[in-house]
Structure 1
C-alpha cells in the first residue's frame, strides 16, 4: 500500500549509489547502432556519388571523343558543310548532342546548312522519308531536338538570327514530309520567337534584301505546315494552329505590322481555319486569349486589303512558288453570306465561353473594387464600370471593323430569309445562330452597342421589311410569347432554364434568344424613334394591337422578375429570397445567374432593366398622346391593399434591419466561441426566438420588397390613388423620424387660444408682409434648410403694418404657401424679370434667361454664360440661385403638407423632378418633349426633317442658336432694350451650316440645349431645394401629369355630393335623430350646387385655403369640412376658421341672401380679418 504525500506531482527519483541502471546500457547500445548505420549510409552514398561522377566523366569523355570523331568526319567547324551526310553521321550527332551546349547547337545548324536557305535541305532530298525508314525516324528526332533548341538561342545577335532562320527553314521543309510534327509545341515555339522580338530584331539588323529573305522564311514556317498537309492531317494542323498561334496576344504588334494578316489570308485556307476553330476546346482557354482568338478570326475574314507593294508580292511569290505549297480552293468569295454564316457559327461558342469566364471574373472583382476607379484583372484588361472587361485596342478595332462590313447585313439576311434553305430546321438553325451571335455582341461589348444598334435599327430586307418588324413577327410566333401575354407560367419556366442543362440549344432557350434580341433592339428604337414615326404605327413602329400584346407580355415578365426571384436564382444559389432581396434588390451584383433562360451572359438584372425601360418609354408616350384605354396599365396581380404602410415602412426600415442582422450575426459568433459557458433552457429559448424573429423579418422583406421595387421602377402598374396613399405614408414616416410630432394636434393647439396664454411663438416663426411675401419668406426661412419640413408659424402683416388677427392652426400656412407660389411668375422688382416664365400653353418653368441677362453686367456677350465660372460665383448669381432653391423648398413644403396650390408646371420641367436628382441628368428628354416647351419650335424642327436640300440651304441655318435678352437700359423708352446672344450648339457651330446630312444632329442639339442646357443652373437649384423636402425616389412614383396633380390637384369639377357626404355639422346644424338637415344647410347645398365652378372653388378656398379637392377625395380632408351656425343676424357675413376647415354660417332667411353674403365673403380677399 502506497502512502499519499498530499501532492499530485511526480516525485523526483535521486540515485546516490553511482551505479548505472540497465536502461542506461540499452540507451548506449542503441546510440552505437545508430552511429554504425549512419556510417554505412555515408559509405554507400560516397560510393554512389563516386559512381555517378565516374559515369559522368566517362560519358563526358566518350561524348568528347565522339564529337571529335564527328568533327573530323564532317569537317566541323568548316567554311562549308559537306553536300550530304550518311545516316550514321546523323545518328552519331543525335546521340551525343546536348542542346544546353552551345557548340552542339552549332553542330546541328552546321549539319542542316548544306543547302541555301531557300532550297530544300539535302537531308530531306529523296524518297527515304516515306514509310518507317531509319532516315525518317532520324529526321523526326532531329526536328524535335531543333525545335527544343530554338527557345535557348539568343536572337539579339546577327549570327544567332541566322541560326534561327536555318532551323526554321529546315523545320518548315521537314514538316511537309512529317505533318505530325506541326503540333501545338511547334506553333508555341514559333509564337515564342515572334513574341521575343525576332521580326523586330531582323528588321533592325538586316539589310533590305536579307530582311525580305528572312521574313519569307518566317512566313514559310507559318504557312507551309498548314498548306502542305494533305488528307486527314490538315484539319488537325489547323486546329493546333488556332489553339496556339491564334490565341497569342502579341501578334498585333510583333507580326502583323510586318507580315499583315491580309497576306496570310491569301496563303491560307480561311474556311478550313474557321471549321477548325469550331473543334477547339474553348473552355480550356483563358478569357483574354479567347478574345484574341475571336479578333484574329474576324481579321482573317474581314481585315481590309493593304495596297499592293513589291514587298508583299515578293513574300507571297516565295511561298506560293514553293513545291510543297498547296493553294487553298476558294469556292466563293469570303464576304458571301455562306462565309458570314460560317463565321457566326464559329464565333458563337467562343463568345459563349468568353461570357461565362468574364462573368465569373467580374463577380469576384465586384466584391473588391470601388466604382470610383477602374481596376485591372490578371490578364491586364482594364475593367469598366459595367463589370465587363474593356477589350484591348486591336480587339476593339476588329470588332468595330466587323460592323463596317457587309457582315451585319449578311447576318440579318439570315434572320428573315426563307429561300435557299432546305428545311424549316435549317431555317431555324440559321436564324438562331444569327440572333444568338448578335445578342452576345450586345451583351459582352458595350462599346459596340451604339454602332450595332444603329445598323440593326436601319436594317431591312430586300423587299423593304425592317428587321425590327421581322423580329416581332418571329417573336409572336413563339409559344413563350403567346403564353406569356396571358399568364406567368411559361415565362417562369423559361427563365429558370440554365445553360449547363440546355447547352443553349433547348427550344425554349432559342425562343428566349429571339425575344430578348427583339426587346433589346426595341428598347433602342424607343429612344431614337420620335412620336411622328411612332404614331404612324407602320414600318419600324408596331401597330396598336401589337403594342397591346407586347405590353401584356412585358407586364407579366415584370411580375415574374420581381416576385419570383428566388425561383429563378435558386437554380444555382442556396440563398433564400430574403437575402437576395435585401442585398441585391435594385441591381444584384453577386449570387445572380449569368445564364438565365439558358442563354450564356443573360442575367436577371439585365432583363429587368430592359423590361423597365421599354414599359417606361411606352407609358411616357401614352402620357403624351393616349393610345391605350383607361386602366390598361394597371396590373391587378400586384396587390397592395392593406400593405401601403408596410411598403412605406420597408423603405425606412430596410437598412436598419440589415444592420440588425449583422450585429446579431457577430454576436452569435462570439457566443459560439465561449464553449465553457453553459447553455440554459432560457438562453436556448431566447436563441430560438431570435432565429424566429430573423426568419420573420426575411419573410417580411420577401413579401414587401418586390412591391417596393415595382413602385420605384414601374409605378404606373398601380392605381394613382394607391401611390398617393403610399406617398403620404412616406411623409408620415419621415415626420416621425424627424420627431416633428403630430402636426394636426399642433395646429389644434395653435387654434385653441385657451391652451397657450403666454403668447409664445412656435419654434419656426415668421412675420410676412402681404406686399413682399416671397422676400420676407426667404429672409425668415431660407437658413432652415431641410428644417423647413418642420411645422412653421406665420403671422401676416397687412398693407397698413398691422398684424392680422388669424391664429395659425394650419389655415394661415395654407394661405402663406398659396400666396408664395403665386409669386413664381410675378416680376422680380430687383431684376426686372420673373423667376418663372410661361410656355404657349401658360405652363411655368424656370426663367432660363436670368443668368444670361446678368452676364451683360460682366461684358460677356459671345460666350455661353452657363459655363462662365466668374458669373456663377458672383454675389448676384449666388443669391439668385439660392432663391430658386428656396422656391423649390416652397413647392416641396406644399407637397409635404398635402396643400394643393394653383400652379401649372410645364411637362418637360416636371420630367426632371425625379430624373435629375437621381443622377440621370436629363436622360430621356428629347425632341418630342419640345412640344411642352415651345410647340412652334417643335413644329419647325419636325418640318426640317422633310425639307429638300434647296429649302434647307435657303434657311441659312448654322449649329448655333440666338437668345433674345431684355437688358435694363435707363435711356430706352420702356426702361430696357433687347440684346441678342449667340450660342454655339457645338464647337465652332456658328461656322457649320445645316445640311440634309447633319440636320438630325442639329435637331438633337437644339432639343438638348433648350430642354437641358439652357437654364440648367436655375433648374438644378430649384430641384436641390425640392429634393431637400421631398425625396426624388418618392417623386419617381409619378409621371409628369400625375406630379402636376400632386401639386395642384385635379382639374375636374368639384364633386359637391362627395363634399356633402363628408361634411360635419355643429351647433344647431347638427343632424338629429330624424336624420334631417337644417333648412339653412339645405339652402347652402342648393346654392353651392348651382354656382359657377369658379365660385365653388372660391368658397372652398375661403373655408380650407385651397381651391382644389384633395387627391383622395373629401373623405381624406383633415380635419373634415365643417359647418357651424353663427347666429341669426342676417346682416353678418359668413366667416371661417381655415385651420380646422370650419365655415361659420349665419341662419339666413332666403337662398338669395345666403348666396349674396357667401359670395361676397369668399371674394372679399380680407385675409384673416373675417376669422
Structure 2
C-alpha cells in the first residue's frame, strides 16, 4: 500500500548498488567487440604464418633441387679439385648457398678451387674480372658470400682455420681488382677474425714455414686492398680501413703481439693514412674506439724503429708481402716527425681528440638518467670520467711517445710557426692545429700532465725563445687579449661561443685556444718557477709590463667566469646533453657546458680553476716582492663597499640549505620532464617547488660574490674583508645565543640567573705563575664551546684572588698571558711550543715529538717517518696542547683581541689551507725563505753548481735533525743529538748529482715546510679551525692573517681615538660641547708623545698596544676617561676590563705627561683605583 507523500512530483529513483545498467551494457558490448577483433587478428596471423611457412618450405625444396643439380654438374664432393670455372655454375651456387649451412660453406671452398692460382700474373681472376659485367657481378656476390661465411665460421679447429685462410687468400685478390668491395663490411669481418684470436692461434702452428704461410694470408687480406698496384680509389679504402679496423680494441694483443708494429707500419702508406683520417666519420665511434684509433695512429707515425736483429718470422712476413705481385711498395723515406708535417699530424689527431671528449660527455650523461654530479669546480669535467688508471698499457705507451724530445721540439715549432702572419691563427693552419692538439692532450689525459707540462715548459722555439714567452707574445697580438685587458664585454662574448662555430667566430675561437694553452702552461710554470727566476723578468719569465697586462686580463676573465656564468652556460646547444654540476662554494646547480669559447673539453669550472690558481700565485709573489702598483689588485667592478651585507645572506644560505634537505634531487630531474605534472591540488609540492626556485635564484645572485671573497679576496679592500670577517663571527655568536654581551654582563651580576641562550657559564681560576697549564686544565674539554663567553678569576702568587669586573679586559689579559707564555722559546722556562726564525717569527717546534720519542727509545739514528706506530701517551698530550693553542689564537681572533705575537709566513699560509686537506698546501722553495734563509740561499746556489762542485759537497737524499735530549753528564743536563732522516727510501745511500739536484731541492723544501712538524701543525690547525672556519680565513693572505692576529704597525691615529672616546664624571661633555681642560691637556700630550709611548698608554688602558683593525670605533667597550679626583700627586689608574682610564685633574701638561708615562710604564692598574 502506497502512502501519499504530500507532493505530486515524481520521486527520484536512487540506486544504492553503485552500478549503472547503461554502463554495464556498454561494457558488455565493448568486451564482445574486443573478442571479435582478437579472433580476426588470430585468424589473420595464422594465415600469415601458413603463408610464410609454405614459402619457406618451397624455397627449401627448390634449394635442395638446385644443390643436387650443382653437385652433379661439378662432381661435389667426389671430384678432385680444381674444377672448371663457368659463370653458370657460380650463379647456380649463389642462388641456393646458405652460409649458416656447413655443407654450403664447403661448397664455397670447393668452388674457389676453380680460381687457383689467385695471385699469379694472368690468373683466372684477372681474366674473369676483366671480362663481362655478369662475371664481375657474380664474383662480387661471391666475395660477399665469403664475408658472411667468415663472420660465422668457427676458427678454433684446424679444418676451419684452413678454410678461413683459403677464403682470405681469395678475398685479398678480389678486393685488389674490385676496390669497392673493400668497404666497411670487409674490414668489419677482418676485425672480427682478429678479435676472435685468429692471428694468435696461427702463431702456434708448426713448422715455421706453415706458420709464415698462414700469417701471410691474413696480412695480405688486410694490406693488399690498401697497397694494391691495381686499385685506384685507395683513399676510400683507407677510410674504411681506419673506420672499421683501426678502431678495434686491443690490436696490440690480437695482432701486434705476433706481427710487430715496426713491420706492420712498413706495409702501409702512413701519409695516405693521415690524409684519410681527416675524412673519418668520427662522430660514429665510441669513446674507447676513438682512443684506440688515436693510439694506433701514433704507433704508425712514431712507432719504434725495427730492431737491429729482426726475427726470421718478421723478416719473412715483410718479404712475402713486399714480393707480392699486387703489392705496391711504400716509400717510407720521408720523416713524419719533422716540423713540416707536424701540422698534418696535429690536424689529423686533434679532431679525434675532440670527438673523444664529446663522446665521453655524451656517454656519461644519458638522457634518461640523472646527470652525473662533479665533486667541485676545481676539477675539469673529465676528472672522474677519464679512467686513466684503467687505460690499457698500450695506449699509455703510445701517448707517452708524444713526450719524446724530437716530437716536443717539432710540436713547439708547430705551435709558434708563422704566428705574426695573420693566417697563422686561422683554423686549419699548422699553428692552430698544433695548439689545439696540445691543449686537448692536456685536457683529456691526466697521466700525461706532469711530464708533458714539464717538456713544454722547458721547450724553446726555433729562435731560442721559451715556448711560454713565445705563446704570450702570440696571444698578446690577438684582438681577444688586447680587448680583454680593458673590456669585460669582449671576454664574455668570446666565452659564449659554442662548438657550432661559423666562419666569423672560428678565428675568435682559435685565439681562445692559444690563450687557454698559454694559461694552462703558465699555471704549471707558477708552480715550478721560483722567485729567483721569476724576478729576473727574462728567460721563461714574463717582463713586468707583460705581467701587468696579464693580470689585468685575468682579473676581467675572473669577473666574467664568476658574475656572468649563467649567461655563458645559457649558450649550451639544444642537442647537447645537459649535465648538472655543483660549485665548490655553493649547492647551487647549473647546466654545465663542455665547449666554452667553442673548444670542446673546456668547461667553466676548468677556466675558473686555472684563473684562480694563476692569480693567487702571482698575488703571493707580489706580496713577497712588489712588481705591481699599489691598489692594482683591487677590482672596481666588484661592489666592495656593498659586499658586507652578503654575510647575512651567506648565513641564511647555510640555514636554508639545512632546511631544504628534504627536497629530493628527483625534483631537479622532473623540471625538464614535460610529460609529468603534479596533481592540481598538490599545493605542498607546488610550494616546495616554488621555494626551491626562489632559493636557486637567490643563490645565483650571491654565489659570485662569495666565490670571489673565498677564492680571490684580494679583489676586495682589506678593511672591507675585515668587516665581513667580523660579521661572520657576529652571526655565529647569534646562532649560538652568545651575541649580546650586555645580557651576558647582566648575568655576571646575577649568577643565579640562567645565561642567555641556555648556555652554561664557563668559569676558570687561573694562577699567574702557571697560566697556560691552568687554562688547558680548565677549558680544553670545552671543544668548540670555547667560543662561548668565559669568566676568568686570576690568583696571584700569594694565592689571593685578584679583584676586577670582566667587561672584556680580563679576558684580553688572560688570552694575552696564555699566548705570551706559550710563545716562549727558551726551554729552561718551560716547554718551547714554538721556535723562532732568524727574523724572530714563530712556528710550531718541530723537534718536540722526536725528542719525546728519543726519550722513549723509539727514534733511531736513521729515522724516516717520525712516528712509526701509534703515538704514545706523551705525544698525545703534547698534541692536545698544540690543539688548545690553536683554540687560543682562534679565540683571540673570534673576540677581536689583538695579541703581540708574530708567526712565520709559511706557517700562516697553512691556516686557510686546512680546508683543502692538502699536506703541502702549495708551499715551495720560495716559502722556505721565511723559515730558514740560510738554507734557502744554499739551495738556490746548489741549482747553479756544476757536477764537480756538487760531488765535492758529498750530499745525499737525507737531512740532519738536531734534538735537545736529556743528558745527566752535560753541564745543564741536556745535550744536542743529531739524527739522519731520509728524504726518500734509502735516501742516505743516494748521492745528489746535477741530474737529480732539483728533486733534492724540492724534497728538502717539502720536508722542512710540510713534513717536519706536521703533527704539531695539524693539531694547532685543528684547534684553530674549531673556533674560526677556514672558509673565513681564506679571505686573507699570510701578511693579512698576521694583521688579524696582532694588528698592524702603522702609527696610532690619535684623532680617531679622540673621536671615539666616552667621558664620565665631571669630564662628561655638556651642552656647550666643550671638553674639560684636563681632557684637552691629555689629548695635547698624546699628540706629541713618541709612538712607543703612545702605544704604552694604549696598552695601559686596553691591555693591547695596537689599534683595532677597523679603527677605535670598533673597540668594545669604548675607550673611556673618568675623573679620579683633584689630587695631583696621584697616578692615573685603569680598569682594563672596561677600557677605562681614571685620570686625576692635573694642573699642567708637564705633570700630566709625567704621571701618565710613569703609570703606563710601571704597569699600574686596577689595584691603584
Task: Out of 144-153 and 895-904, give the one that drifted further.
Answer: 144-153
CA gap of 1:658–1:562, structure 2 versus 1, over 3 A, is farther
For 1:6, the equivalent position in structure 2 comes to: 13
How far, CA to CA, are the matches of 1:1164 and 1:232 in structure 2? 106
Structure 1 residue 923, shift from structure 2 partner = 2.3
Displacement of 1:865: 5.8
Q: Which residue of 2 aligns with 1:633?
A: 633
- Provide closer, same or farther for how the CA distance between residues 773 and 548 of structure 1 changes in structure 2, counting only shifts above 3 A: same
Aligned to 1:62: 65
SS in 1 for 2:591: coil
Q: Distance in 1 between matches of 2:38 and 2:837?
A: 108
SS of 1:1065's equivalent in the other structure is: strand
Instruction: State the secondary structure of the residue aligned to 1:593.
Output: coil
Q: Select the residue among 346, 349, 371 that pairs with 2:348.
A: 346
Confirm or deny that 1:143 pairs with 2:135. no
Pick one of 1090, 1093, 1096 that aligns with 1:1095.
1093
SS at match of 1:128: helix
Are the aligned partners of 2:768 and 2:794 in contact in 1 as well (CA < 8 Å)? yes
Aligned pair count reads: 1137
Map 1:437-448 → 2, pairs under 5 A: 437-448=437-448
CA distance in structure 2 between the partners assigned to 1:826 and 1:803 by the alignment: 26
Cα distance per residue 1:40-82 (max 9 Å; x no partner): 989978985895476256425413422440352xx6345x513
Aligned residue number for residue 1051 of structure 1: 1049
Per the alignment, do residues 864 and 845 of structure 1 end up closer, same or farther by CA in structure 2, a change over 3 Å counting?
farther
**CA drift at 1:608:** 0.7
Q: Deviations over 1:791-813 (max 9, x none)?
A: 00000000111100112221100
Report the equivalent of 2:328.
Answer: 326
Counterpart for residue 915 of structure 1: 913
2:25: which partner in 1?
none
The 10-residue stretch of structure 1 (905-914 or 478-487) with the greater mean CA deviation from structure 2: 478-487
Residue in 2 that maps onto 1:817: 815
Q: Secondary structure at the match of 2:128?
A: coil
1:22 corresponds to: none
Q: How does 1:542-581 map to 2 (within 5 A)?
A: 542-572=542-572
CA change 1:1119–1:264 in 2 (3 A) is same
Structure 1 residues 275, 101: closer, same or farther in 2, change over 3 A?
same
Distance verdict in 2 for CA 1:174–1:692, change over 3 Å: closer
The aligned counterpart of 2:1102 is: 1104
1:258 to 2:258 alignment: yes
Q: Choose the corresponding residue for 1:701, options 678, 690, 699.
A: 699
CA distance in 1, matches of 2:919, 2:38: 86
Q: Does the residue aligned with 1:766 lie in a helix, a strand or coil?
A: strand
Aligned residue among 1001, 1004, 1007 for 1:1006:
1004
Note the C-alpha offset of 1:871.
Answer: 5.9
Kindly report the root-mean-square deviation, in angstroms, between the aligned alpha carbons of the 2 structures: 3.9
Shift of 1:166: 0.7
Q: Give the match for residue 726 of structure 1.
A: 724
Matched with 2:532 is 532
Offset, 1:133: 3.6
| 2:463 alignment counterpart | 463
Listed one character per residue, the Cα deviations across residues 1005-1041 of structure 1 (whole Å, up to 9, x for unaligned) are 0000000000000000000000000000100000000
String of CA shifts for 1:110-129, please: whole Å, max 9, x gaps: 33246878854997345331
Aligned to 2:363: 361
CA offsets 1:624-662 (integer angstroms, 9 cap, x no match): 111112111111110032440333432452451574496
Report if the CA contact (8 A) 1:891-1:1026 is conserved: yes
Q: Which aligned pairs between 1:104-253 and structure 2 lie closer than 5 A?
A: 104-113=104-113, 120=120, 124-130=124-130, 132-228=132-228, 232-253=232-253
Q: Which moved more, 1:506-515 or 1:354-363?
A: 354-363
Please name the residue that 1:767 is paired with.
765
Query: In the alignment, which residue of structure 2 is the partner of 1:1133?
Result: 1131
Offset at 1:560?
A: 1.1
1:649-694 per-residue CA deviation (whole Å, 9 max, x = no partner) reads 32452451574496599999999856579x9xxx9xx989x99887
Cα distance 1:44–1:1108, how it changes in 2: closer, same or farther (>3 A)?
closer
Counterpart in the other structure of 1:474 = 474
Pairing 1:297–2:304 present = no
| Counterpart-to-counterpart distance in 1, 2:74 and 2:664 | 83
Residue matched to 1:18: none
For structure 1, which segment, 741-750 or 1132-1141, has the greater mean C-alpha deviation from structure 2 after superposition?
741-750
The residue aligned with 2:314 is 312
Give the corresponding residue for 2:26.
none
Q: Is the 8 A contact 2:859 2:866 kept in 1?
A: no
* Of 304-313 and 866-875, the range deviating more from structure 2: 866-875
Q: Deviations over 1:699-749 (max 9, x none)?
A: 543332211110000000100000000000000011111111312542476
Q: What are the ranges of 5 or more consecutive residues in structure 1 without an aligned counterpart?
A: 15-25, 374-380
Task: Specify whether residues 5 and 384 from structure 1 end up closer, same or farther in structure 2 by C-alpha distance, changes over 3 A only.
Answer: closer
Residue from 1150, 1157, 1163 that aligns with 2:1161: 1163
Q: Does the CA-based 8 Å contact 1:916-1:922 persist in structure 2?
A: no
Where do 1:9-48 residues align within 5 Å? none
Which residue is 1:974 aligned to?
972
Give, in angstroms, the shift of residue 349 of structure 1.
1.2
Tell me the TM-score normalized by structure 1. Answer: 0.90
What do residues 975-995 of structure 1 show as CA deviations (whole Å, max 9, x unaligned)?
101111100001110011111
Secondary structure of the 2:127 match is coil
Q: Which residue of 2 aligns with 1:76?
A: 77
d(CA) in 1 for partners of 2:587, 2:218: 52
Secondary structure class of the residue paired with 1:225: coil
- Distance in 1 of aligned mates of 2:507 and 2:47: 72
- Counterpart Cα distance in 1 of 2:588 and 2:170: 58
User: Pick from 844, 849, 860: which aligns with 1:851?
Assistant: 849
**Is 1:335 matched up with 2:337?**
yes
- Whether the 8 Å contact between 1:582 and 1:658 is mirrored in structure 2 is no
**Structure 1 residue aligned with 2:435:** 435
Distance 1:297 1:1090, change over 3 A: same
Distance 1:666 1:168 in 2: 55
Alignment partners' CA distance in 2, 1:104 and 1:665 = 59
Q: Secondary structure at the match of 2:1023?
A: helix
Distance change in 2, residues 1:330/1:772 (3 Å)? same
Change (3 A) 1:32 1:900: closer
Q: Secondary structure at the match of 2:1110?
A: coil
Offset of residue 163 of structure 1: 0.5
Cα deviation, residue 885, structure 1: 0.2
**Larger deviation, residues 896-905 vs 1058-1067:** 1058-1067
Query: Residues 994, 1011 of structure 1: CA spacing in aligned structure 2 closer, same or farther, 3 A cutoff?
Result: same
**Matched position secondary structure for 1:823:** helix
| Partner-residue secondary structure (3-state), 1:966 | strand
Q: Which moved more, 1:525-534 or 1:351-360?
A: 351-360
